[in-house]
Amino acid sequence: MLQVNDLHKKFKTTTAVNGVNLYLDQGESVGLLGPNGAGKSTTISMISTLLQPTSGDIRFKGGDVLKKPDVIRPVLGVVPQEIALYEELTAYENMHFFGKTYGLSGEKLKNKIDEVLELVGLTDRKKERVKNYSGGMKRRINIAVSLMHEPELLIMDEPTVGIDPQSRSHILEMVRELNRKKGMSILYTSHYMEEVERLCDRVYIMDHGQIIASGTKEELKSILSSEDTILIEVHQKSEQFIDQLNEHSLVQQIAEVDTGYKVIVSKGADVFADIFEIANASQVKVKGVHVQTPTLEDVFLHLTGRKLRD
């Protein structure tokens, strides 16, 4: 359905996208995962025909998107990171306005508004002005607007950033339903690995303008098949503890997490006794040590030595 080949975008001194290749088949839900500044928004702006690439090729169903943007525009829905709504209008009025710009009118427009409002769970709040909505509700209406013309491909740019957990969960559920029940193809960018794990069949991991890994979640996690991830929970953190752990020959990566540290070690490495010994020496009280199933976050840590949200 979508094929992106060797895509580049240079802004004066910054190379935001540096040779991206990716594809998306009909009906797939694909994640584009990477930290802030990785180049995700720039990539999807080019796919959405909002930004001209420096070089590269984008095909949609075989058609040349860069030469003929209309091969993708009518069937594309884009949910931008920034809310793009009229604050003074009600949700219903916003949807009416955007529906009209998509060429809908009369009964068809009314029915579509009702259907989409139901989908985003805001039917009973449709008469309120958007300026009185919570951040999460605004985002839901922002998504609703992008669904008015029944797009075949929906591109979402970090749709859950900065919203309350309930709205977030609602949005994730909705995206899943659009994909699984309605067969909509979805390209979902996020720096929350747990969202991508939950929603996407396949994942591209992006960093510094490049795709550094791609595959199904299982394939990506198998990158770590020769490693274990250990969570060390501590009462208080200590630089000395990290420094000494870092020097341990079997420790490959360390990242700080809320409750302590995440450490990647060679598979089956017997480091437990050493962890407690180093903790003792650095006067760190250990609450617990757990071996964990690897997550996509761990894959990212392994590949880059950094956490996704650094």
Ligand X SMILES: Nc1ncnc2c1ncn2[C@@H]1O[C@H](COP(=O)(O)OP(=O)(O)OP(=O)(O)O)[C@@H](O)[C@H]1O
Q: Specify the DSSP class assigned to residue 205.
A: E
* Closer by beta carbon to ligand X, 42 or else 167: 42
Is residue 42 near ligand X by the rule CB under 6 A? yes
Is 11 among the residues that bind ligand X (CB under 6 A)?
A: yes
Is 229 an interacting residue with respect to ligand X (CB under 6 A)? no
Q: Distance between alpha carbon 118 and the CA centroid of its chain, in Å?
A: 24
State the nearest-atom distance from the C-beta of 13 to ligand X, in Å. 8
Residue 160: CB minimum distance to ligand X, A: 12
Distance of CA 203 to the CA centre of its chain: 9
- Is 16 one of the binding residues for ligand X (CB under 6 A)? yes
Contact 1, 71 (CB under 8 A): no
C-alpha atoms less than 13 angstroms from C-alpha of 168 in its C-beta half-sphere: 13
Site string for ligand X, 132-161 (x = CB under 6 A): --------------------------x---
Q: Does 94 bind ligand X (CB under 6 A)?
A: no
Q: How far is the CB of 188 from ligand X (least distance, A)?
A: 13
Least distance to ligand X, CB of residue 20, Å: 11
Residue-wise DSSP of 23-86 = EE-TT-EEEEE--TTSSHHHHHHHHTTSS--SEEEEEETTEETTT-GGGTGGGEEEE-SS----
Q: By the 8 A CB rule, do 133 and 59 touch?
A: no
Only segment of 34-42, 55-63, 104-112, 143-151 that touches ligand X (CB under 6 A) = 34-42
- Which two three-digit tokens encode residue 219? 């394939």
Q: How far is the CB of 50 from ligand X (least distance, A)?
A: 11
Applying CB under 6 A, which of residues 2, 4, 22, 39 lies at the interface with ligand X?
39
Where is 104: in which H helix or E strand?
Answer: none
Nearer to ligand X by Cβ, of 10 and 59: the residue is 10
By CB under 6 A, the residues from 187 to 216 that bind ligand X are 191
Binding test (CB under 6 A) with ligand X, winner from 40, 138, 202, 302 = 40
- What are the respective helix, strand and coil percentages of the chain, to the nearest 5? 40, 30, 30
Q: Is 244 in the site for ligand X (CB under 6 A)?
A: no
Among residues 42, 41, 50, the alpha carbon closest in space to that of 69 is found at 50
